[in-house]
Amino acid sequence: MNIGNQCCVFLSIFLCISICLGEDYDLDDKTGLGRSFDGIGGLSGGGATSRLLVNYAEPYRSQILDYLFKPTFGASLQILKVEIGGDAQTTDGTEPSHMHYEDDENYFRGYEWWLMKEAKKRNPNITLIGLPWAFPGWVGNGENWPYSFPDITASYVVSWILGAKQYHDLDIDYVGIWNERSFNSKYIKLLRYTLDKSGLERVKIIASDNLWEPISSVVITDKELQDAVEILGVHYPGTNTVPEALKTGKKLWSSEDYSTFNDNVGGGCWARILNQNYVNGKMTATISWNLVSSYYEDLPFERDGLMTAKEPWSGNYVVESPIWITAHTTQFTEPGWTYLQTVGHFTHGGSYVALTDEKGNLTIITETMTHDHSVCIRPPLPSYDVTAQNVTFHLKGTFASISELQVWHSKFDFKTNKTVLFQNIKPIKVTEGSFSIELDVDEIYTFTTVRNGQRGSYQDPPPSAPFPKSYKDDFDVSGNPYFSEAPNFADQTGVFEYFTNQTDPGPHVSTLRQVVTQRPVTWVADADRTISVIGDYQWQDLMVSCDIYMESVHTGGVFIAVRVNKGGGVVRSTRGVFLWVYADGTYKVTNDHNGMTVLAEGMSGTRARVWYTLTLTVKGNYASADLDGYPLWKNAVLWEPRHGWAAIGTSSFELAQFDNFSQMFFFQH
């Protein structure tokens, strides 16, 4: 045999030893333990991401909640973070404040109270977090900044926490501090003081709920700030931390993460970061934005939730792969378990973590997600390689006597689409403290002493269906409605709430009222005019009718609209066909929400504090409108946009009422 052939033989033997025999990994608690595990969670809000969930009929709504929160059933979430509504657009819509005005308090607005109670009903131990993304205008006292008067802002936030307990018996565990521009140490200290003064010493602060810096460095040098902050929380860390954050000695959380389309690549993203947030960044909690994709699909960040529930009218929902990826960790651990120090990356790519309850139980989670099958929306993911590999785990210390582990397996198959999710397979024997497993790419395994895992299921929900072709809502409610918003309306600027006329109701006893009268303090560009959308984004030819009532004398104005093409954070540039009437007796039809592109205009005779019926009809390239059954104009010519939602709204931040809304879709030929 020549030297070249000998080299090939030796190389083949070496490769077989290193790959076929595999690599060895010790799991040992003798050397000490790592950080305490705080949980995996979902985020409702930031904003209005659970808007359509509340409108599902039973049993489908409860089924969705079970997949999210019920222990050992689905995702079994351990943390629920919600938006403290601020009357402002915060990504996919607005959520109502508990204090629209300084002298106003109402702790039954919105749906986050309901959602927290439903989560607690299923898991009494779930951790609850509140975070304001925006604030009513009065908090900023005319400025688009909440910290010019930090005592007002602190009192506002604390009132929400107190109201959660007083009216809903909900104990909020943490409150977040968040702003896109910077963190405010004076406010954080004042919030800690206000919490303590209000008997809320147990409520801890997460800061800055944005970036690692500058807060990490400031916490190191500022003892008062160090005492005020319990958790350093970061958004989208890319599984990495910074040295200064570790030096603080604080718990580190990825307090907002994921935000990725929930197909199988999204599931792969979630699998990778759940492990590597701890392996790389020592983060002990990871919270998904968002909890459930329950908003109109053509709003920004479509399907960026752990599951999808965007059709309350049909009852259809989809249990997406991130639900079962979450279960790999949450069904076999609890907050308070501890990571082992012996966690890390596999030699041939992927990662592993191990946790214990320090009572003899052990859970190991492995992931071998390849780069292209685990890309998250942010930040950019550097290139890396993963190959199939054989690994051997050696259980040492208090785990040496374990003889068998339960096994749960997921495999993403991007070639033949035969993906397997959260499958309970044959237990693996542990011989003399060791076991081996062949790991293919794009796999997740859980090896655990915990025996009560379950892949929960219900009968398939109804099939997907478009929004009803004909839809009516008279906004009539008896007594206090369960939710303050009308079904299926998605507020994009302003807040539209049920309202009961107490003085001179006439035929309009119960209406929908726009209640925000001052531009809110917000990090997203709210429109200058309020708007709430409804329906099917693909609708083209449509008739919309609604009774309207302007409350502002001389300056009032309202609209109804069709083919509305934008919402969320880009709502300022919304186009469509808008029919406006004003309290000064005029009307106009515009091609945009800003009211600048005028298609028709004239005198309407409308005035404030009188009910009128507006009807807007669009077919093809022509639009017509009626006021109380009489034509305002016919056949205004329009070209764009070709489709979009229906909508109602006001010409400014002003009080106005709506009643007897109806829409009818015309089939295209």
DSSP H or E stretch at residue 68: helix 60-69
Q: 47 in the Ramachandran plot: left (φ > 0), alpha (ψ -120 to 50) or beta? A: beta
Is-catalytic flag, 256? yes
Tokens 């515009």 identify what position? 590
The torsion of the CA quartet 33, 34, 39, 45, rounded to 10 degrees, works out to 170
How deeply is 329 buried, as exposed, middle or buried, from its count of CB atoms within 10 A (0-12, 13-18, 19+)? buried
Tokens 């052990």 identify what position? 362
Closest CA to 40 of 78, 84, 81: 78
Token couple for 326 = 């979450």
Token couple for 294 = 């329950």
Closest CA to 404 of 435, 430, 375: 430
Annotated catalytic residue within 23, 102, 143, 180: 180
Question: Measured between alpha carbons, how far is 116 from 392 in angstroms, rounded to an integer?
Answer: 42
DSSP 336-353: TBEEES--EE-TTS-EEE
List residues bridging with 339 in a β-sheet: 355
The 10 Å Cβ neighbour count of residue 388 is 13
Contacts of 479 (CB under 8 A, 6+ apart): none
Question: Measured between alpha carbons, how far is 637 from 621 in angstroms, rounded to an integer?
Answer: 6
Is residue 61 within 8 A of residue 15, CB to CB? The reply is no
Question: Measured between alpha carbons, how far is 328 from 387 in angstroms, rounded to an integer?
Answer: 22
Annotated catalytic residue within 83, 112, 118, 256: 256
The upper half-sphere exposure of residue 455, i.e. CA atoms within 13 Å in the direction of its Cβ, equals: 15
How deeply is 506 buried, as exposed, middle or buried, from its count of CB atoms within 10 A (0-12, 13-18, 19+)? exposed
Tokens 């949450």 identify what position? 330
- Residue 150: asked if its preceding bond is cis (omega within 30°), the reply is no
How deeply is 647 buried, as exposed, middle or buried, from its count of CB atoms within 10 A (0-12, 13-18, 19+)? buried
Q: 299 in the Ramachandran plot: left (φ > 0), alpha (ψ -120 to 50) or beta? A: beta
Closest CA to 331 of 556, 123, 656, 72: 72
Is-catalytic flag, 311? no
Phi, psi of 146 (to 5 degrees): -85, -5
Contacts of 434 (CB under 8 A, 6+ apart): 392, 393, 394, 395
Mapped onto helix, strand or coil, the DSSP state of residue 408 is strand
Q: 617 in the Ramachandran plot: left (φ > 0), alpha (ψ -120 to 50) or beta? A: beta
Closest CA to 294 of 61, 458, 86, 538: 61
List residues bridging with 470 in a β-sheet: 664
* Residues catalogued as catalytic: 180, 256
